[in-house]
Amino acid sequence: EAVAEALDAARPLGEERRLRLEFAHGLEEVTVSADRDRLHQVLMNLLSNAIRFSPPEGRVWVEVAREGEGLVRTDVCDEGEGIPEEEQARIFEKFHQVSPGPGGKRTGSGLGLAIAKSLIELQGGRIWVQSSPGRGSRFSFTLPAMPGT
């Protein structure tokens, strides 16, 4: 439900850039033990970044799956320009912004990913990125699964 709500909230931003926003979920419903408002904030930070850095008419999607025993992993993926490997370790630091490509400019405050990291860690999870220049990015986070689900 939280992912579907965040995608609905982000849809107008995606439509402005003619992006397809998709929820690629499996048949199994998973539930996390988390603060709903904070989870929504994390998802919106990640989705707005994915939308901002994706090319027009591209795709942004969210995947949710069990991750081992007692965890749920959520991935927010895009087809954007990607993040250079040397910057990936720093993007979760306050005020850090990825260096723009040729002719590009920096956007945002550099706080969204730092806030997302803090909110995920406070709820017992972790967050990371996998990215390659020219191949997009996959921001992933885990949260504890709700006991009994």
pLDDT digits (tens, 9 = 90+) for 103-146: 444 455 567 899 999 999 999 999 999 998 889 999 999 999 98
Residue 108: what residue type? G
Q: Are 77 and 136 in contact (CB under 8 A)?
A: yes
Instruction: Give the chain's end-to-end CA distance (angstroms, integer).
Output: 15
Residue 107: the pLDDT is: 56
Residue given tokens 């027009």 in the structure block: 56
CA distances from 119 to 10, 37, 66, 132 (A): 20, 10, 20, 25
Residue 74's Cβ-side half-sphere holds a number of Cα atoms within 13 Å equal to 30
Rounded distance between C-alpha atoms, residue 135 and residue 80, angstroms: 7
pLDDT band for position 28 (cuts 50, 70, 90): confident
| Contact between 46 and 7 (Cβ < 8 Å) | no
Angle between helices 112-122 and 36-52 (to 10 degrees): 150
Q: Please check the confidence at residue 25 and state whether its pLDDT lies above 80.
A: no
Distance CA 82, CA 149 (A): 35
Determine the 3-state secondary structure of 14 from DSSP. Answer: helix
pLDDT of residue 146: 85
145 forms beta bridges with 32
Note the pTM of the prediction, 2 decimals: 0.88
Q: What confidence score (pLDDT) does residue 101 get? A: 46
Matching residue, tokens 């999607």: 61
